[in-house]
Amino acid sequence: MVSEAENGLRHYGNFISGIWQDAEQGETLTLKNPSDGSELALIARGTAADIDLAVKAARAALSGAWGGMSATGRGRLLHKISEAVLREIDLLSVLEARDVGKPLTQARADVVALARYLEFYGAAADKVHGETLPYQNGFTVLSVYEPHGVTGHIIPWNYPMQILGRSLGAALAMGNAAVVKPAEEACLTILEFARIAQQAGLPDGALNVVTGLGAEVGAALSSHPDVNHISFTGSLRTGQAVQAAAAQNAVPVTLELGGKSPQIVFADADIERAVPFLVNAGIQNAGQTCSASSRILVQRAVYEQVIAAMSAHYRTLTAGNAETDLSLGPVVSERQKAIVENYLQLAQQDGLKIAAQGEIAGDAPQSGAYVRPTLLRDVPPQHRLAQEEIFGPVQVIMPFDTEEEAVRLANGTAYGLVCGVWTRDGALQLRMAHAVQAGQVFINNYGAGGGIELPFGGVKRSGHGREKGFEALYGFATLKTISVYHG
Ligand code: NAD
C-alpha cells in the first residue's frame, strides 16, 4: 500500500477493489505538514479514469461477497473495524495531527469518534425496519429499505476521520458500496483507514478511495452516471457545483455546507459556565469547523462582562505545532492562512476593534501556518466579518437589547447550521429554540461538531439532508413498496 518514494516520503496509491494502485496517469501530489511546512507524503493524483475504475469496483462488490452479506453480518463487521481503528489510535492520531495541523488531543478524539460512528452504525445495521401498509382487501403491502447502490463521498480536510465515519458508517450499514474522495489537503488517515478496514475483513470493492484534486476527481465522481447517491461536505460553492453535476443524472445529494453559527447570551445566563463554550466553539480546530460558533450575541446588560471574561480566556490561548498539543495548531495550509489574514486586514482597514488575542508559541516554526486567535468587538451585523464564514480562529461579538432583536440577528445571515442559547428562563429557551433557523439548537451548552447520535445538517445555505444519528440511515437507503395480491 505504502512505498517509499526516492526522496524518502511515504507514497500512497489509490485503493480500488482492495488493491493499492498508482493513478492511471501515474501522477502524484505532495502533502505538507502545516505545523512547519515540511513535506509529509505523496498521494496519487487521480483522474476521471481512476474514478471510473473505482465506481466499477463498487458496482461489482454489490453483486459479490459484500452484496451477499446480511444486515447483521455488516453490523458485526463494522464493529470489528471500529475495534481495529482503536487499536491503531496512536498512528492515526499522529498522522491526523501532522496532516491537518490539529493538536494531538483533538486528533485522538477524532479517532475515538470514527470508531464510535462505526460502533453506532454497526449496532443499527439490522434495526432499520420497513412496514406493512393497510391497502385493499386481498393485498399485503410491504415497504422495505434497500441501499442506493454505489455511494460517492466527498470529504473536506478539517475532520477527515469524523466525516468519513459519519457518512461511510451509515452507507455501509445500509449495504451500499462506497467511493470516497478525500480532500487533497489532508487524506492520510482515510487511506490508512482503508488498510485497517480491509485487514478487519471488509470485502474488496465495498470501500474504494481515490485521491486527487477536487476539480478533477471530485468533479468526476459527482458527475459519474453510475453513482446512485452523493454525500458532500465542504464549501457552499463546491456544494452547488456537486449538486448541479448530480442533477444531470437525477441523483440525490446530501449537502453539509458551512455556517456562521451564533451563540446568544441573555442577561440571566450562567456566564461562568458559558464562557469556555463561547470561546472553545470558536477556536476548536483553529476555527476550521463547519459548526464553529463564530458570532457571539450578548444582551447589553452583560455585554461588557462577557467581553471581559472571554478576553481573559483568549489571553490563555496559544497556537503551536500540533504535536506539542497546545490550545490550537496552525490552520491547514498557507492558502488558508492567507484567507484568514485577509479578513483580519479588512477588520483593521474598517476600524473594527480587537477585544483580545491569543498568542503564537515562541517555538512555533516560522514556516508553519499560524494565526493568532482573535476576538473582535462591536462588529456591525452586516459587516463581512459578521456575515461570511472565515474558517479560522476569529470570532465577532455584538450586543442586542430584546429577544426579537436576538432572533433577527441570529437569523440574519445566509447560513443556518447550529445555534447556542444561554438563559435560565425555560420559556425563553423554548421560544428561542423554535424561532432560530438552524439544524441543531443547543441550550446552555454547545457541541461544535459533536454528537454522533444527534442528527446534524443545515437549513438555508448550510445545506440539506441529515447525517449522524439514526436518521442518517434513511438517507443512505431508498424505500421500495411491494404489493402482493393473494385474494
Ligand atoms: P471545498 O468545498 O473546497 O472542498 C471539499 C471537498 O470537495 C474536497 O474533497 C475537495 O477536493 C472537493 N472538491 C473541490 N472542488 C470540487 C468539485 N468541483 N467537484 C467535486 N468536488 C470538489 O471545501 P473545503 O475548503 O475543503 O472545506 C471547508 C468548507 O467545508 C467550509 O465551508 C466548511 O464549513 C465546510 N464544512 C462543512 C461541514 C458540515 O458538516 N456541514 C463539515 C466540514 C466542513
User: Which CATH number goes with the domain that contains 322?
Assistant: 3.40.309.10
6-29 pLDDT per residue, tens = 677 899 999 999 999 999 999 999
Decide if pLDDT at 61 tops 70: yes
Are residue 231 and residue 273 in the same domain, yes or no? no
What kind and span of H or E run contains 418?
strand 418-422
The Cα 338–Cα 9 span in angstroms is: 27
* Per-residue confidence (pLDDT) for residue 154, from 0 to 100: 98
Residue 134 located in a structural domain:
yes
Are residue 19 and residue 103 in the same domain, yes or no? yes
**CB 257 less than 6 A from any atom of ligand 1:** yes
User: Which CATH number goes with the domain that contains 47?
Assistant: 3.40.605.10
Got the DSSP string for 420-434? EEE-S-HHHHHHHHH
Which range has the worst mean pLDDT, 2-6, 8-12, 201-205, 478-482? 2-6
Domain that holds residue 438: 261-461
Give me the percent of the chain exceeding a pLDDT of 70.
98
| For ligand 1, mutation pick of 166, 223, 238 (most atoms within 8 Å of CB) | 238
Are residue 105 and residue 246 in the same domain, yes or no? yes
- pLDDT mean over 187-196: 98
Are residue 154 and residue 281 in the same domain, yes or no? no
Are residue 269 and residue 233 in the same domain, yes or no? no
**CB count, 10 Å around CB of 228?**
21
**CB 217 less than 6 A from any atom of ligand 1:** no
395-407 pLDDT per residue, tens = 999 999 999 999 9
62-102 pLDDT per residue, tens = 999 999 999 999 999 999 999 999 999 999 999 999 999 99
Domain count within the chain: 2
Closest CA to 406 of 398, 414, 415: 398
Under DSSP, the state recorded for 148 is -
**CB 241 less than 6 A from any atom of ligand 1:** yes
Are residue 334 and residue 358 in the same domain, yes or no? yes
Are residue 277 and residue 237 in the same domain, yes or no? no
Are residue 235 and residue 316 in the same domain, yes or no? no
The Cα 34–Cα 247 span in angstroms is: 36
347-364 pLDDT per residue, tens = 999 999 999 999 999 999
Are residue 109 and residue 211 in the same domain, yes or no? yes
Give me the percent of the chain exceeding a pLDDT of 90.
97
- pLDDT mean over 214-225: 98
Residue 366 located in a structural domain:
yes
Residue 181 located in a structural domain:
yes
CA 237 – ligand 1 centroid, Å: 9
The Cα 459–Cα 97 span in angstroms is: 31
Residue count of the chain? 487
Residue 243 located in a structural domain:
yes
CA 123 – ligand 1 centroid, Å: 29
In the block, which residue shows the cell 470558536?
282
249-306 pLDDT per residue, tens = 999 999 999 999 999 999 999 999 999 999 999 999 999 999 999 999 999 999 999 9
CA 157 – ligand 1 centroid, Å: 8
